[in-house]
Amino acid sequence: MSLRKIEIDFAAAPSSSRSRDVIKRSFIEPKEKTLPGKAEMAANVSRSIGKTAKAFFSGKKITVEHSLKDKRMKICEGCAWFIKKSQRCASCGCFVPLKAFLEEESCPVGKW
């Protein structure tokens, strides 16, 4: 996630005979969340398909229970990388509802 620096001037109106100096403070404000590049997202989806296919052919479970999916989704919805409008992760570019439902998947920033 990229950040931009903004400066805000806080000036107080004079109170009594003396005036206050202008205080300059810098705040870091996050820019709009953007997805990774197409090449990186393609690599991520390829790894995901590979892990899921390997689990399928090994006879392992592919999906998680709905309660675990819901728990993962709640974690993601509270994350700074989550893009609410598109339901995607700005870190990896994946569709979070699908990623949260697959057994072999994990959070790219280590939250689940």
- Residue 29: the pLDDT is 46
Over the chain, what is the mean pLDDT? 83
Helices (H), 1-112: 38-57, 66-77, 96-101
> pLDDT digits over 14-36, tens only?
555 555 555 544 455 456 788 89
Distances (CA, A) of 45 to 52, 69, 108: 10, 19, 12
Which region among 3-12, 27-36, 64-73, 80-89 has the lowest average model confidence (pLDDT)? 3-12
User: How confident is residue 8, by pLDDT bands cut at 50, 70 and 90?
Assistant: low
Quote the CA–CA distance of 51 and 43 in Å, as a whole number.
Answer: 12
User: What residues have CB less than 8 Å from 89, skipping those under 6 apart?
Assistant: 76, 79, 81, 82, 83, 96, 99, 108
